[in-house]
Amino acid sequence: MSGDNGFQSERTRLAWARTVLALTAVTALVLRITVTQGARGALLSGLALLGWAAVVALGRRRVAQLPAPMTDGRIVALTALVIVGYAILGVTLVLTGVGPTPP
Amino acid sequence: MWRRIRQWGDPRELREIGTTPDYRFSLANERTYLAWLRTGLALMAGGLAAAQFLSAMPLPYLREAIAIALLLLGTVVVIRAVDRWARTERAMRLGEDLPVSRFPAILSVVIGLGGLLLVAAVVIQAVHVR
């Protein structure tokens, strides 16, 4: 590896960490709605946590491969798929009624 | 585009075409993909926050419309991120020019217009209250 590697592995690892952090914030916003919704909410909370855990696992697996480049498109596609799942969950919650938080 | 989406799930396809590029370029492509994911996540977070924290909207269902628009915009950003990653990876392996796109410019205009609407709403509300 040349001296000009620009901390490539570290930068990529940190990029994954930031992405997981952003997902964690979105998960918290989803859970804030679902935990108040009884049995249905418990199911949706479980789904949200499962998706979060899946992305954490995918990120860990990918970071372990560094500095090898990512040739497995499945990690890319699956990570995006989980995030799209959050959007679908969010739209479902909005359509079935999320009131503003009472003051 | 749908043909390409089916190809994402097949890791062999990427390894078999062309030659492996400098790993730095490949990792930069990966980080760009992750940055787009965070952009999409930020839009979704905005949608979820709008659904929960906006109150006293002047029109019925305006809050829900804002929330769903942001969630859908985030979805488009994330799906496009995967497509973009695959196309860039493929172009680098084949030594072709990187794909060009109007998407970042369009997204900027959409977000800018959204910002202007918010400014207008705040100003109108302030004048109205007085």
Beta carbons of A101 and B68 less than 8 Å apart: no
Q: Is the peptide bond before A67 cis (omega within 30 degrees of 0)?
A: yes
Distance CA A92, CA B127 (A): 36
Instruction: Note whether A30 contacts B: Cβ–Cβ < 8 A.
Output: yes
Instruction: Note whether A95 contacts B: Cβ–Cβ < 8 A.
Output: yes
Angle, helices A73-95 vs A8-34, to 10°: value is: 20
- The pLDDT mean for chain B works out to 87
Beta carbons of A100 and B15 less than 8 Å apart: no
Q: What does DSSP assign to residue A17?
A: H
Token pair in block for residue B75: 């979805």
Residues of A in contact with B79 (CB under 8 A): 80, 84
Report the pLDDT value the prediction gives residue B41, as an integer from 0 to 100: 97
Distance CA A68, CA A85 (A): 29
Does this model's pTM top 0.95? My answer is no
Cβ-based neighbours of B35, under 8 Å, separated by 6 or more: A15
In this predicted model, what pLDDT tens digit does every residue of B6-60 receive, in sequence order? 666 555 566 677 888 888 888 999 999 999 999 999 999 999 999 998 877 778 8
Residue B59 amino acid letter: L
**Taking 50 as the threshold, does the pLDDT of residue A66 lie above it?**
yes
For chain B, the 3-state helix, strand and coil shares in percent, each to the nearest 5, are: 80, 0, 20
Higher pLDDT, A97 or A38: A38
Residues of A in contact with B53 (CB under 8 A): 100-101
Report the pLDDT value the prediction gives residue B20, as an integer from 0 to 100: 81
